[in-house]
């Protein structure tokens, strides 16, 4: 089963070569787990209503984590 993380981060200013989340990830403000895509999107929608997100100072990311069933395989 695939789980999802909803992450609220600070937006950092653009630096010379751009942004690289692997070498220097944005600072996390809040991390919430969800067991379904629908739940994750609902949480993300609530975060998107925050003033700092609407002003462009923070961003919301939905990340799928865990295993996905292979094609033709049911849980």
Regions of the chain with pLDDT less than 50: none
Structural domain contains residue 17: no
Prediction pTM value: 0.77
Structural domain contains residue 21: no
> What per-residue confidence (pLDDT) applies to 31?
95
Structural domain contains residue 32: yes
Q: Report how far apart, in Å, the C-alpha atoms of 70 and of each of 31, 32, 37, 67 are.
A: 27, 26, 17, 9
- Domain of residue 1 covers 1-12+26-75
> What per-residue confidence (pLDDT) applies to 2?
73
Rounded percentage of the chain residues whose pLDDT exceeds 90: 63
> What per-residue confidence (pLDDT) applies to 52?
95
Distance of alpha carbon 57 from alpha carbon 18, whole angstroms: 17
Residue 44 CB neighbours (<10 A): 19
> What per-residue confidence (pLDDT) applies to 25?
84
Distance of alpha carbon 51 from alpha carbon 53, whole angstroms: 5
Rounded percentage of the chain residues whose pLDDT exceeds 70: 81
**Would you say 68 and 2 are in contact if contact means Cβ atoms under 8 Å apart?**
yes
């Amino acid at each position: 089963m695939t789980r999802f993380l909803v992450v609220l981060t600070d937006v950092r200013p653009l630096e010379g070569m751009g942004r690289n989340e692997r070498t220097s990830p944005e600072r996390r403000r809040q991390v919430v787990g969800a067991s379904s895509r629908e739940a994750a999107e609902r949480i993300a929608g609530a975060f998107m209503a925050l003033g700092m997100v609407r002003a462009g100072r923070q961003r919301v990311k939905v990340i799928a984590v865990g295993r996905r069933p292979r094609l033709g395989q049911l849980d």
